Amino acid sequence: MKSLYKRELAMMVGIVTLSFTLLSTAFMLLSYRYIISETRDRLERNAGYIASATGNYLQNFNSWNIFDSRADTWILYQTTMETVSSVSDASVIVASTQGEILYASDEGMYSKQIPQQIVDQILEAGNYAGLTNLNGIYGSNRYIAGLPVQVQLDNPNLLVNVGVVLVSGDTSGLSEMWRSTATIFFFAAVVVLLIAVIASSITSAHQTRPLTEMAEAARKFGRGEFDVRVNNYKDRCDEIGELAEAFNSMANSLAKVESQRAEFIANVSHELKTPMTTIAGFAEGILDGTIPPEKERDALNVVVSETRRLSRLVRRMLDLSRLNALTETVTAQEQFDIIEIMSRVLISLEGRINDRGLDVDAQFPEDPVMVWGDPDAVTQVCYNLLDNAAKFAAQGTAITVQITKKDGKAYIAVRNLGATIPSDELPLLFERFHKADSSRSVDRDGVGLGLYIVKTILGNLKENITVTSEDGVTQFTFTLTLA
């Protein structure tokens, strides 16, 4: 497995190498073009000066060969060319139209011949410029600029080519410049790469350390250690800090769910143990004769009651197992009358409501209220809310059920009068396994799933539910979309 450090290091080294390669290539090309351009212009200027001076020299002495002139003037011409060659740091060659070298600033060239193709190009095109060693005249390639030597005949407008001038410059300076530049770029690249490696190491360690800690914390979660947190990165105002915050939030949620699960198992175990103990005790009493025959019927009634209680507990736990499938089973593609649904639920709970001496105040519109949703799921919502209201309402009070319409929504409110729910407990009512404090836990078969099921169903229908509790009046209000 490739580590994050190796990936970042490879990427940074690659970027630095590519950047220096492109930069050095661009610099070398630009410097080469600039130096070549400067050398060409300088040599062409010198060649032009020498060609003009040579033409004037021949014109003044009415001779077409510099060797035909007087010795004193030849010495003057030679001195002038040597001065030009020395000042311009260039090699000067004057040759005839046949390529014969007539004058050379460098020794040992008079016996050599200028390539005829170069001479012809100068005479025909009027100039020559390029890198060449003149067929071995020079030991290495030199940049050479060539121009013709011209004199006037009797016709002042007619110029005759009587020779050529070649001025060459040494390119060793350019090669030396390239070597120096390459050396500078190489050492600079090495230094930058070292800095990049150090910076990448520090940055990668800064980034991977919290990830490693979170991975270890996640492993501990898998082993059941839910008290682990990542607390060293709260002050980081970057993505790592956000990830650490989200991680801790997830850890808190997992710990809370685990606590609720443990509490749920404890509650269910207690609720299952109590009726089972009662059932076993009365059954054994009937079998061994401890319970007299005249009381057997009462004992059997207790057994039946406890058996039904067990059935209710099992049914609630099955509801929990079906919660994960609510998204697929709950749809919002059917129209129905919410008044009819609520009326049916009230009738099904009539016995429970009457047993507690409660009244029902149904505030329904006269006309049907058609809404979108899943009738069976909404029936379960209404049943759970009304069942809760009946359980926790004070005896002799009334349960109020109100249905109103507003802004394309039907608002269904279920209100009862009883103990006030503390404000800090209201947000917890819709969580799994949550049961109210002991002062309100009058429901012996409840396991804290009714309101969670309500919230889940309405969430899948894209609807909302709210709860308020003030001065003993508790009201649950949920919405449905009008059809």
End-to-end CA gap in the chain: 57
Q: Is 233 within the bounds of a domain?
A: no
Is there a single domain that holds both residue 310 and residue 404?
Answer: no
Q: Are 97 and 159 in a shared domain?
A: yes
Does residue 415 share a domain with residue 435?
A: yes
Q: Are residues 281 and 430 in the same domain?
A: no
Are 302 and 363 in a shared domain?
Answer: no
In a domain, 263, yes or no: yes
Percent of the chain scoring above 70 in pLDDT: 84
Asked if residue 224 belongs to a domain, the reply is: no
Q: Which of the listed residues 261, 288, 321 is the one where a domain comes to its end?
A: 321
On whether the pTM is more than 0.85, the answer is no
pLDDT in tens, 442-457: 454 455 677 888 888 8
Structural domains of the chain, count: 3
CB distance 448 to 464 below 8 Å: no
CATH number at residue 258: 1.10.287.130
Q: How confident is the model at residue 431 (pLDDT cuts 50, 70, 90)?
A: confident
CATH number for the domain including 454? 3.30.565.10
In a domain, 305, yes or no: yes
What's the CA gap between 257 and 306, in Å, rounded? 30
Does residue 367 fall inside a structural domain? yes
What size, in residues, is the chain?
483
Regarding predicted confidence, which is higher, 228 or 146?
A: 146
Q: Is 473 helix (H, G, I), strand (E, B) or coil?
A: strand
Spatial separation of the C-alpha atoms in residues 176 and 224, rounded to whole Å: 71
- Structural domain ending residue among the three candidates 150, 177, 204: 177
> In terms of domains, do 253 and 134 share one?
no
pLDDT in tens, 333-366: 789 999 999 999 999 888 889 888 999 999 999 9
The domain of 147 spans 4-177
With 80 as the cut, is the pLDDT of residue 269 above it? no
Specify if 375 maps to a domain: yes
- Pick the residue with more confidence: 280 or 73? 280
Strands (E), 221-354: 334-337
Same domain, 137 and 173: yes
Residue 223 lies in a domain: no
* Statement to judge: residues 157 and 264 lie in one domain: no
